[in-house]
Amino acid sequence: MPEEKESILKRIQKLLKMSEDKGASENEAMLAAQKAQELLSEHNLSRSDIKDDSQVEPIERETYDAERDNWQGWIQSATAKLYFCQYFSKSGVDSNYKRINQAVFVGRKSNRIVAKSMCDYFINTIKRLADKEFESVPGSKAAINKMKRAFILGCATRLQKRINERFNEIAPPYEGIKNPDGLPMLYKNEQKAITDWLRNAGVRVVSKKSSFNIRDRAAYENGKQKGNGIGLDTQVNNATRSRMLGR
Within 10 angstroms of residue 169's Cβ, the number of other Cβ atoms is: 8
Confidence of residue 35 (pLDDT cuts 50, 70, 90): confident
Check if the beta carbon of residue 186 is closer than 8 Å to that of residue 40: yes
d(CA 152, CA 226): 10
**To the nearest whole number, what is the mean pLDDT of the chain?**
80
d(CA 77, CA 119): 9
User: What is the DSSP track for 183-228?
Assistant: S-HHHHHHHHHHHHHHHHTT------------S-HHHHHHHHHHHT
Q: Is the pLDDT of residue 89 over 80?
A: yes
d(CA 22, CA 12): 18
Q: What are phi and psi of 51, to 5 degrees?
A: -95, 115
d(CA 103, CA 120): 12
d(CA 204, CA 214): 32
Residue 183 is predicted with a pLDDT of 59
Stretch 29-38: mean pLDDT, rounded? Answer: 75
Candidates 241, 214, 227; CA nearest to 125 is 227
Q: What are phi and psi of 64, to 5 degrees?
A: -130, 145
What is the helix (H) or strand (E) element at residue 88, kind and residue range?
Answer: strand 86-93
Structure confidence by residue, pLDDT tens digits, 160-215: 999 999 888 877 665 555 555 555 666 777 888 899 999 999 998 887 776 667 77
d(CA 216, CA 136): 17
Q: Please report, rounded to a whole number, the percentage of residues in the chain having pLDDT higher than 70.
A: 73
The number of residues making up the chain comes to: 247
d(CA 53, CA 235): 32
Candidates 87, 77, 91, 78; CA nearest to 107 is 87
Confidence of residue 7 (pLDDT cuts 50, 70, 90): confident
d(CA 82, CA 50): 21
